């Protein structure tokens, strides 16, 4: 209803003005409602966007860490493939540019002009004399024809020859006929048959010794062994060699068990493991990856092949043993041994590799890791001097104390790099085992002996990938153990294997009843059966 006009003009103007203001207020309120609704929508979108940005920031930080870790892994793998194989720290290079370039390094070996030691006479090799005569026309004087007189001495020189010879040995057994009239006598007697390693086999024990050495010491695949034999005139199939090896497996079980038994009588073991393929399907096992375990003692080396990498393997080997020390890496499979009283001495080389990975993979941690590597290098160096220098004993203990305090101090920092923190936490978690060598000076600081023992089988793994069957895998670990033990005791694997297989052949293709002459840690071998160094 329109408002009634009053008689006062001023009142009418005020009323009209009030109406206009009310309309403007209504418009502003409608506009405010509209913009509030728009603001609420935008605010909701902004909140969602801020949440997404926060999530993306967190994800981006995680991805940066993943990329940094992957870069470190790539750097580590590239170093394994293309870097130097040694783990020694290279000497520090001079930084002063004003210094002149160092002269080139002296070449290795004997220097030109220096006095030599003379040619080494290989007295351990057999000698075959070959006489060389002069030409017939030189035996007479060229002018008068008078015959020359031969001198009682010769001018001698030597060379080393190699002769690979495959021979068919035809055994002729003499037969004797009875000529007397005596009764109950055998009318014809024949010489005894030669000893055979495999009944009715066509290969001698020396031949099988050659095959076993080629396969399990020199790590050549059977196909290459057959190719080598073919080059020397003998064509033999891989199946023939494989079936012969399967027959020989039973000959080494007792000897292998004797080595295993001797290993259990030690008080210090070094253990390690690596993967090995066995191309046989096992129920419940999804792949062909088995594990080759090695145990090093002072006088024997034992290999064992197992489908798993679990603690059951070392626990079974040392079952019932309550005292002793195992030197190993920080793999958890060895830790249950502590429950039965065995002490674990952890490898410092593995700790050093952790810091090398930090130095090579994380540029921001290079200075941090280099300091720790330097301390570990000093620790290795001084530990070697403990037996000869009394001051080295205090220095070794001092370095260990400083490293422990430094690790605890650094772990209190909140801004410590995640990978550095992980490395230091692992260091302190295994500290009692890492410092066990302080209490027992004869215990090595590293596990390098067992790693070196695995090198030769690893060459075989690269050459022939592993084993086709379980029996061939068992034969491999038995021969690996025997050859490594013989070499550890300064024996010659070829001579040892020839003697052992000959004894097996003389025992009708079975292991000799008395193994004592074939236990390398007990037998004093003749000089000609020892390795030449």
State how far the Cα of 132 lies from the Cα of 375, in Å rounded to an integer.
66
Element (H, E) at 344: strand 343-346
Average pLDDT of the residues in 417-423: 94
Nearest to 420 by CA among 4, 69, 20: 69
The segment with the largest mean pLDDT, out of 104-108, 256-260, 519-523, is 256-260
Residue 102 is predicted with a pLDDT of: 54
Nearest-angstrom CA–CA distance, 141 and 253: 71
> Which pLDDT score, from 0 to 100, does residue 13 have?
84
Across 4-12, average pLDDT: 68
**pLDDT of amino acid 343:** 97
In the Cβ-directed half-sphere of 188, how many Cα atoms lie within 13 Å? 4
Give the model's pLDDT for residue 72: 82
Rounded distance between C-alpha atoms, residue 326 and residue 334, angstroms? 8
pLDDT at 104 over 90: no
The confidence score (pLDDT) of residue 85 equals: 65
pLDDT of residue 226: 96
- Note whether 269 and 327 are within 8 A (CB): yes
pTM for the structure as a whole: 0.81
Give the mean pLDDT of 328-346.
96
CA angle 33, 36, 41 (to 5 degrees): 130
User: Which residue reads 């070499």 in tokens?
Assistant: 487
What residue spans define the domains of the chain?
348-446
Q: Residue 195 pLDDT more than 80?
A: yes
Predicted confidence (pLDDT) at residue 30 exceeds the cutoff of 60:
yes
State mean pLDDT over 358-370: 93
The answer to whether residue 401 scores a pLDDT higher than 70 is yes
**pLDDT for the residue numbered 532:** 42
pLDDT at 100: 52
Residue 337 exposed, middle or buried by CB count within 10 Å (0-12, 13-18, 19+):
buried
Interacting residues of 194 by C-beta distance below 8 A, sequence separation 6+: 171
Q: What is the mean pLDDT of residues 46-72?
A: 88
pLDDT of residue 163: 84
Q: Given the structure tokens 């783990």, which residue do they identify?
A: 87
Distances in whole angstroms, Cα of residue 444 to Cα of each of 155, 325, 435: 54, 11, 11
Mean pLDDT of the chain: 89
Assess contact for 201 and 216: CB atoms under 8 A: no
Under the banding of pLDDT at 50, 70 and 90, the label for residue 407 is: very high
Percent of the chain at pLDDT above 90? 67
pLDDT at 477 over 80: yes
Please state, as a whole number, how many other Cβ atoms lie within 10 Å of the Cβ of residue 423. Answer: 20
> How far, in Å, CA of 63 to CA of 67, rounded?
6
> At residue 359, does pLDDT exceed 50?
yes
Reported as a pLDDT band with limits 50, 70 and 90, residue 95 is very low
pLDDT confidence tier of residue 143, bands split at 50, 70 and 90: confident
């Amino acid at each position: 209803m329109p408002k009634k006009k009053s008689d006062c003009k001023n009142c009418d103007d005020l009323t009209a003005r009030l109406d206009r203001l009310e309309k403007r207020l209504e418009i502003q309120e409608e506009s405010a409602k509209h913009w509030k609704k728009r603001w609420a929508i935008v605010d909701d979108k902004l909140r969602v966007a801020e949440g997404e940005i926060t999530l993306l920031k967190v994800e981006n930080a995680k991805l940066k860490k993943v990329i940094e870790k992957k870069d470190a892994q790539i750097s580590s793998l590239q170093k394994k493939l293309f870097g130097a194989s040694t783990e020694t720290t290279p000497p520090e290079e001079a930084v002063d540019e004003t210094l002149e370039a160092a002269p080139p390094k002296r070449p290795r070996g004997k220097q030109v002009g220096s006095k030599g030691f003379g040619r080494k006479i290989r007295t351990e090799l057999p000698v075959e004399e070959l006489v060389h005569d002069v030409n017939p026309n030189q035996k007479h004087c060229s002018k008068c024809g008078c015959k020359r007189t031969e001198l009682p001495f010769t001018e001698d020189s030597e060379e080393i020859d190699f002769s690979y010879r495959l021979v068919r040995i035809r055994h002729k057994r003499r037969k004797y006929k009875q000529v007397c009239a005596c009764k109950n006598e055998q009318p014809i007697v024949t010489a005894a048959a030669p000893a055979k390693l495999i009944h009715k086999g066509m290969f001698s024990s020396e031949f099988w010794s050659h095959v076993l050495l080629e396969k399990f010491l020199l790590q050549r695949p059977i196909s290459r062994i057959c190719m080598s034999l073919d080059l020397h005139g003998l064509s033999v199939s891989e199946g023939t060699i494989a079936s012969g090896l399967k027959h020989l497996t039973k000959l080494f079980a007792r000897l292998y068990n004797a080595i295993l038994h001797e290993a259990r009588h030690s008080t210090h073991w070094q253990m390690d493991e690596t993967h090995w393929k066995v191309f046989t399907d096992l129920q419940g096992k999804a792949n062909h990856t088995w594990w080759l375990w090695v145990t090093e003692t002072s006088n024997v080396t034992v290999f064992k092949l197992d489908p798993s990498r679990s603690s059951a393997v070392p626990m079974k080997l040392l079952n019932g043993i309550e005292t002793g020390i195992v030197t190993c890496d920080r793999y958890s499979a060895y830790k249950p041994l502590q429950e039965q009283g065995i002490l674990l001495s952890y490898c410092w080389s593995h700790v050093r590799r952790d810091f090398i990975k930090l130095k090579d993979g994380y540029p921001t941690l290079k200075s941090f890791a280099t300091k720790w590597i330097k301390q570990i290098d000093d620790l290795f160096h001084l530990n070697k001097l403990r037996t000869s220098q009394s001051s080295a004993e205090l220095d070794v203990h001092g370095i260990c104390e400083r490293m422990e305090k430094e690790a605890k101090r650094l772990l209190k920092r909140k801004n410590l790099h995640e990978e550095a923190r992980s490395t230091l936490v692992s260091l302190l978690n295994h500290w009692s085992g890492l410092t066990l060598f302080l209490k027992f000076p004869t215990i090595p600081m590293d596990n390098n002996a067992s790693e070196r023992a695995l090198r030769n089988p690893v060459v075989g793994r690269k050459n022939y990938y592993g084993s086709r069957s379980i029996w061939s895998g068992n034969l491999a670990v038995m021969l690996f153990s025997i050859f490594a033990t013989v070499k550890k005791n300064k024996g010659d694997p070829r001579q040892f294997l020839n003697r052992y297989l000959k004894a097996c052949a003389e025992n009708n293709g079975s292991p000799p009843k008395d193994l004592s002459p074939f236990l390398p840690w007990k037998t004093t071998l003749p000089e000609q059966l020892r390795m030449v160094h």
